[in-house]
């Protein structure tokens, strides 16, 4: 049911749009997604440590190294990355955030590489692209900081940060392909929930009118769905073999967009013992940024989240019907 992307002011690469990676405190990579291997032609072992630098243009390596040496700072830098399918270097954007120890020292880096760059011949494309990337970097910074505050340990932190950055990368790739039109909410939900399809696509039901979301709102909705699905797998309906999830959205008198997430078939009817990143995103970030209201009900049959986004103020510029 995915729709074809429309025209935009970006020039997409034939390869996947985002490559997620993790690095130790000194910048040496410890993991990277398979899309990076396909893009560069390297084997995984060759990427680890400082090996990944071999596919960065020699003139750009020092700036990337310098960025990774700045304790506690976020990294946002352009560099030319080798594309094996195209047999040439392609400008790419490296975005990363430091995960800090309690004392402020860097524990590790988490980040992504964008291989979609704006077409410089499109008027206004470069400034808009840079502004978007600064906003993405701000989101990554908040994501890592809040994940570190709520994680129960290093392994849990790494797992959550990796999943959240991957979700952020997915929606940013979709937005870059069609920045003016926005992303259909159905496509956004399908793209995010597809990663949970191993639990059975027949257990996920989506419905709602044709609504498109843009910018920060699309980003937050995608992250919210990621958190709800993750919690459903760990604690809720998708943990039980008979459980299922329904997501529907509607427009109420052209005044608000209402999303309802319903879980069925789980025995849990109580709220979680601690408030994590997902609760903070739904109950605080969305209301702060878009005057949204999010309400949870912990029913015997499963959790029900209702999110109401008013079609005025900031959201007015991020929604189209």
Which position has the token pair 């390596």? 61
Distances (CA, A) of 239 to 135, 206, 236: 34, 19, 6
pLDDT recorded at residue 135: 65
Q: What is the assigned CATH class of domain 183-320? A: alpha beta
Cα–Cα distance for residue pair 106/117, rounded to 1 Å: 29
Task: Yes or no: say if 110 and 141 are a contact pair by the CB < 8 Å rule.
Answer: no
Tokens of 248: 């529907």
Of residues 103 and 232, more confidence is placed in 232
CATH level 3 topology of 10-177: Beta-Lactamase (3.30.450)
Cα–Cα distance for residue pair 287/297, rounded to 1 Å: 18
Task: Yes or no: say if 259 and 246 are a contact pair by the CB < 8 Å rule.
Answer: no
Cβ-proximal residues to 187 (8 Å cutoff; 6+ apart), any chain: 1, 2, 3, 174
Cα–Cα distance for residue pair 304/268, rounded to 1 Å: 12
Is the pLDDT score of 275 beyond 50? yes
What average pLDDT score do residues 93-98 get?
80
Is the pLDDT score of 285 beyond 80? yes
pLDDT recorded at residue 93: 81
Residue 249's nearest CA partner among 186, 297, 190 is 186
What average pLDDT score do residues 79-99 get?
81
Output DSSP code: residue 156. Answer: H
Cα–Cα distance for residue pair 22/187, rounded to 1 Å: 28
Cα–Cα distance for residue pair 217/226, rounded to 1 Å: 14
Q: How many CA atoms lie within 13 A of 14 on its CB side?
A: 7
Backbone angles phi, psi at 63, to 5 degrees: -65, -35
For residue 73, count CB atoms less than 10 angstroms from its CB and return exposed for 0-12, middle for 13-18, buried for 19 or more. Answer: middle
Cα–Cα distance for residue pair 141/254, rounded to 1 Å: 34
Q: In this prediction, what percent of the chain has a pLDDT beyond 70?
A: 76
Cβ-proximal residues to 169 (8 Å cutoff; 6+ apart), any chain: 17, 18, 20, 112
pLDDT recorded at residue 283: 82
Of residues 277 and 5, more confidence is placed in 277
Domain boundaries, the chain: 10-177, 183-320
Cα–Cα distance for residue pair 84/65, rounded to 1 Å: 23
Cα–Cα distance for residue pair 140/133, rounded to 1 Å: 10
Q: Which residues pair with 83 in a beta bridge?
A: 88
36-56 confidence digits (pLDDT tens): 888 888 899 998 998 888 888
pLDDT recorded at residue 38: 87
Neighbours of 42 (CB within 10 A): 19
Is the pLDDT score of 148 beyond 60? yes
Does the pTM exceed 0.85?
no
């Amino acid at each position: 049911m995915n729709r074809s992307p429309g025209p935009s002011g970006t020039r997409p690469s034939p390869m996947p749009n985002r490559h997620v990676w993790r690095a130790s405190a000194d910048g040496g990579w410890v993991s990277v997604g398979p899309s990076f291997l396909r893009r560069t032609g390297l084997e995984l072992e060759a990427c680890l440590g400082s090996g990944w630098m071999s596919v960065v243009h020699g003139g750009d390596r020092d700036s990337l190294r310098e960025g990774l040496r700045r304790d506690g700072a976020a990294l946002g830098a352009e560099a030319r990355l080798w594309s094996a399918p195209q047999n040439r270097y392609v400008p790419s954007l490296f975005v990363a955030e430091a995960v800090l120890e309690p004392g402020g020292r860097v524990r590790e880096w988490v980040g992504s590489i964008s291989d979609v760059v704006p077409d410089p011949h499109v008027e206004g494309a470069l400034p808009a692209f840079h502004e978007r990337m600064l906003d993405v970097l701000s989101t990554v910074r908040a994501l890592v900081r809040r994940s570190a505050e709520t994680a129960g340990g290093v392994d849990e932190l790494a797992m959550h940060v990796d999943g959240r950055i991957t979700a952020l990368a997915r929606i940013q790739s979709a937005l870059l392909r069609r920045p003016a039109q926005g992303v259909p909410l159905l496509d956004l939900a399908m793209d995010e929930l597809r990663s949970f399809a191993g639990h059975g696509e027949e257990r996920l039901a989506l419905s709602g009118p044709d609504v498109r979301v843009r910018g920060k709102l699309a980003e937050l909705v995608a992250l919210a769905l990621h958190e709800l699905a993750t919690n459903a797998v760990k604690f809720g309906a998708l943990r039980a073999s008979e459980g299922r999830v329904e997501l529907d959205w509607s427009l109420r008198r052209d005044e608000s967009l209402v999303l309802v997430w319903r879980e069925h078939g789980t025995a849990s009817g109580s709220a979680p013992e601690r408030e994590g990143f997902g609760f903070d995103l739904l109950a605080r970030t969305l209301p702060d940024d878009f005057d949204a209201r999010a309400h949870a009900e912990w029913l015997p049959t499963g959790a029900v989240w209702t999110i109401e986004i008013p079609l005025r103020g900031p959201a007015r510029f991020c929604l189209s019907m």
